[in-house]
Structure 1
Amino acid sequence: MKKLISTLFIIFIFFSCQDDWLEEKRSLSLVVPSTLKDMRLLLNNSFLFTNDGLSFCDISADDYYITDEVFAAAPTAIQRNLYLWEKDIYQGRTDIEDWNTAYEQIFTANVILDGLARINPSESQQNEYNSIKGGALFFRGKAMFCLAQEFAGAYIPEKANSQPGIPIRLSPDIDAPVSRSTLQQTYDQIVSDLSIATDLLGDIPESKTDASKPAALGWLARSFLSMGNYDKALECTERYLDITNLLMDYNDLDQERRYPFSLFNDEVISHSVVTSIYQIGFRPRALVKEQIFESYKEGDLRKDLFFIINEDGTVGFRGHYTGQNRYFTGIATDEMYLIKSECQIRTGNVQDGLKSLNTLLKTRYVTGQYENKENLSQKEALDFVLRERRKELLFRGLRWMDLRRLNLDPEYAVTLTREIEGMIYKLEPGDKRYVFPIPENVIASSGMEQNPR
């Protein structure tokens, strides 16, 4: 165990830019994480924990399209294969970033939790102990959620106990046997980790890259929404909004800035971004379909703040909550209002659902130009909130999750299409390619079941 943990610390020393960390950990005799300070240093590795393994979701979803030229210039075959929903994505490659990133986060969280189990905190240490434990559970839970969106199927309650989930790792022992859990076990563990984290974490994070109670509630709300558990998702959003409910007034933003939204803006409670390795060729030249761009009505400030018209008349996206051209995948308050509204409407509380949505949308329109929606039927209200969710949460790493869950309802199922070099490619609702293959080296070494394609 000492050798294993020492290796982990050496990895983090290599990536860390903190001089005091480097100085303190130079001797191998000092690298066993046995103190709360050690655990905190591991937890504070924002280089690791702010990257969400959702690039496969992002490339494969329909938030954007690319030209033939951009497709041909993609740096890796994996990018091209994901874009066209090919069955053989990896073509023999085993270094799969989305898988590796998430399990590195899980492994690090397990090292921290294992170390904490060996510490008997004093009264003065208890708050720090709880904060570190809550943080480790938070990062482990959200890493498992990201894995479930890519490497396991959509959650169907009556089938979840028989569907394969992901391998659940709760120990830092790399020699422990590896097998796939059921989908129900996967989501039970995600919910357990994030729920315990909400009880341990504080309301206000020291940094927006840190874990916090509302951050955990946000990822819980996402999890329950993907499970179709609208009562629980609603409860999470209400608890979140009791802590923080601040929305930016888009009237106050500068449309002349290249990227109008600043890093760590007022709506962001938990900052994270999509894993970047597979995105290099696509992100700068990703184009938005005309029907999406034209769905924003007169007076909707998002049309100006989210998009940029290129010289050739095509539309690009610039509305990232990162202050740059990097996809934001973290938790922000606008998403919580949308989840709250959808869940209120789905559970029969239509008028309150519309009020929640109106609260958000009036901050997105030119002052005085938004007209509150009222007295809609449940179907009309649900259609409305799902349209607004599509418009508000572009390029957030959420569209793939939404496609998977909404495709379970024929009323909202869609067929995705791409056109490259005159060829049309399609992804039908419920297609097996909505689940990505587990890396072949993992299958070979563990013998676990592969996802069919």
Structure 2
Amino acid sequence: MKKLLYLLICVITPVAFTACNKSFLEVVPLGSQVASSTSDYDKLMNSPDFYQARGGGGWQEEVLMGDDLAAEDGLFSPVSQHMTRLFQWQDVIYYPNDAYQRQPLLLSSLMTNQYQLNKIINEVLNSSGGTDVQKRSIRAEARATRAWSNFQLINLYANPYQAATAGTDLGFPIITQTDITATVFKRGTVQEMYDFIIKDLTEALPDLPVVPSIRTRMSKPAAEGLLGKIYLFMGRYNDALPMLNAAFNDLGTASAQLYDYNQTMGTGGAFLPISTNYGPTKGPGNSYIDMTESVLFKVYYNAGFNGNFYGNNGLVLTPETAALYGASDLRLLLYTNKNPDGSLNAGGRLRKYGVQYSRYGLELSELYLLRAECKARLNDLPGAIADVETLRAHRMPAADAPVPATVAGDQVALIKFIIEERIREFAMEGYRWFDMRRLSVDPLFAGITFTHTLYKKDGSTMSYTLRQSDRLVLQLPYLFMQYNPGMPNNP
């Protein structure tokens, strides 16, 4: 692990993520280079592991647990036992006798990344050949990336944040060392992890570049937006809004841009033609390297099962989710009522076929919705409406973009409308799982329940209801517990 693998220091370009300097191999044999220069550590931050999820990783587990989707029996169940367990919110997802004794892919990926990030954080200031400014900037990027990783982990393996209980709720281990032989880790508390995440981001901000070399790497607006999101998820709206405003101010006009679906999906639009198998053929959902809307670019495979453990086979929108879209909402073009074999879905349900690759870093569309929600919760209704309508005007005809009058003047109704807009924008991409967790402890959503429906071939259905008392948290898998003896697991 301490060896600097050449494959992880390939120089990333906006066009291709695999452009490597061959002369490096001519000087140092593959696998034998140890990071020592500032340039080495800078190249480590270009590691594909920091922005692309292997196989079906990323948020595929979160996709399967979101209540914005249902499943078609016959297409869904035979694919993977893990998909079925996640869809049913079973107590145990990863059994010790499963093939290969697999860990959750996101957990495995993030834990590997933790070692690399900690190595950079702990060592780069003592590296050779760079300026102090360069070294501090690289360390800041690594710290902000570590904060992003820890935010994913705490939203899978610990209770949703509540100020009253965060000080006693079990968190996720805070790992700062680069000792790969360490086996004893303390889980600590949810509050300790959130404090650590905030500390990483806050202390990184002064040294982060406003404009990153490429948007797979952390920048000041990305870290500000992430910190604003975290404060929002903690219910600290007065702290969140300044950070979200700062993110927009630092983005300026030269970074992420919203696609206007009225143009890209209109006559002669850039996303056309629409394939009967994959939807808009040139849209970002079908282009692995499209960073246009990304403030922080991170991508994962989110299409049919291809041997990578997960997929979206058999997944469809729930009728309730489909009903959230207006008839003119161009995001509906990302869905089809046809099954993968071309036959019509008997119940008219929609599957998402226009997004093979989902972004889960920080998208500009989410930044607008985060700030809109924050403003609404602080009772700035006009400001909230302006932000949500900015997004909607890029997703449907201008005449249909305004927030309904029955909603615009009601704070609670507007907050709920913005949450629904998050579903419309990110349905079946994993975002809903994070929202389900935080809404479960939000007094405005008291009594909310979450269900999954499996539609059988004979027309009957089977329903599964999430137990909010314990299944909003995943158990730590067997292999993780095996190598961390004595660590308490989730129920």
> What is the TM-score when the length of structure 1 is the normalising length?
0.88
Q: Distance in 1 between matches of 2:236 and 2:261?
A: 32
Task: Output the CA distance in 2 between the equivalents of 1:286 and 1:194.
Answer: 36
Q: Could you say which structure has the higher helix fraction?
A: 1
Q: Which residue of 2 aligns with 1:46?
A: 48
Q: CA deviation at 1:204?
A: 1.8
Question: Structure 1: which amino acid aligns with 2:409?
Answer: L
Is this contact kept in 2: 1:13–1:21, CA < 8 A? no
Query: What corresponds to 1:404 in structure 2?
Result: 437
Q: Distance in 1 between matches of 2:76 and 2:329?
A: 32
CA distance in 1, matches of 2:357, 2:301: 9
2-structure distance, mates of 1:91, 1:241: 44
CA contact (8 A) 1:53 1:99 kept: no
Equivalent residue number for residue 438 of structure 1: 476
Are 2:258 and 1:247 aligned? yes
Structure 1 residue aligned with 2:161? 155
2:273 to 256, 273, 278: 256
User: Displacement, 1:449?
Assistant: 3.6
In the alignment, does 2:363 pair up with 1:345? no
Cα distance in structure 2, aligned partners of 1:159 and 1:85? 24
- Partner in structure 2 of residue 292 of structure 1: 321
Q: Deviations over 1:197-244 (max 9, x none)?
A: 322211222222122112222322332222122222222211111123
Q: Take 2:375 and 2:392, find their aligned partners in 1: how far apart are those partners?
A: 16
Q: State how far apart, in whole Å, the 1-side matches of 2:200 and 2:474 are.
A: 24
Provide, for residues 374-417 of structure 1, a one-character-per-residue CA deviation record: whole Å limited to 9, x for no partner: 65121222122122122112234211110011111365322212
Instruction: Structure 2: state its 5+ residue gaps.
Output: 11-16, 266-271
Distance 2:386 2:35 in 1: 49
Assess if the C-alpha contact under 8 Å between 2:114 and 2:175 holds in 1: yes
SS in 2 for 1:165: coil
420-429 vs 403-412, which deviates more? 420-429
**5 Å matches for 1:366-377?**
366-371=397-402, 373=404, 375-377=408-410
Counterpart of 2:268 in structure 1 is none
CA separation of 1:155 and 1:372: change in aligned 2, threshold 3 A = closer
Alpha-carbon deviations, 1:351-379, whole Å to 9, x = none?
A: 22122222222222214443355651212
TM-score normalised by structure 2 residue count: 0.81
Change (3 A) 1:120 1:47: closer
1:22–1:103 Cα change, 3 Å: farther
Give the alignment partner of residue 422 of structure 2, picking from 389, 392, 395. 389
Residue identity opposite 2:39 in structure 1: K
- Total equivalences in the alignment: 440
Between 1 and 2, higher relative CO (CA 8 Å, sep ≥ 6) is seen in 2
Q: Return the match for 1:55 from 57, 60, 69.
A: 60
- Alignment counterpart, residue 33 of structure 2, candidates 31, 35, 45: 31
How much does 1:281 deviate?
4.8
Please name the residue that 2:92 is paired with: 88
CA deviation profile, 1:98-125 (whole Å, cap 9, x unmatched) = 2111111111001111221423776xx2
2:294 to 256, 268, 286: 268
**Deviation per CA, 1:11-59, whole angstroms, max 9, x where unpaired?**
848998733454444166x622111111012111124443374332222
In 2: Cα distance, 1:434 partner to 1:248 partner: 34
* In structure 1, C-alpha distance between the alignment counterparts of 2:393 and 2:413, rounded to whole Å: 19
Q: Shift in Å at residue 280 of structure 1?
A: 5.2
Give the match for residue 202 of structure 1. Answer: 209
Alignment partners' CA distance in 2, 1:190 and 1:127: 23
Instruction: Kindly indicate whether the alpha-carbon contact (under 8 Å) linking 1:180 and 1:448 is maintained by their aligned counterparts in 2.
Output: no
1:427 and 1:450 mapped to 2: Cα distance?
26
The answer to whether the 8 A contact 1:194-1:220 is kept is yes
Answer yes or no: is the 8 Å Cα contact 1:271–1:328 preserved in 2.
yes
**One-letter amino acid of the structure 2 residue matched with residue 191 of structure 1:** I
Q: Are 2:344 and 1:312 aligned? A: yes
Q: Which amino acid aligns with 1:139?
A: T
Alpha-carbon distance between aligned partners in 2 of 1:427 and 1:21, rounded to the nearest angstrom: 55
Deviation sequence 1:113-155 (CA, Å, 0-9, x none): 1221423776xx2332133112211221111111111111111
1:426 and 2:459 are equivalent in the alignment? no
Q: For 1:11 and 1:266, locate their aligned partners in 2 and report how far apart those are by CA, in whole Å.
A: 26
Q: Distance in 1 between matches of 2:461 and 2:324?
A: 27
Measure the CA separation in 1 of the matches of 2:435 and 2:403. 25
Correspondence for 1:192: 199
Equivalent residue of 1:327, what SS? strand
Is the Cα–Cα contact under 8 Å of residues 141 and 218 in structure 2 kept in the other structure? yes
**Once the two structures are aligned, what percentage of the paired residues are identical?**
23
1:355 to 365, 386, 398: 386
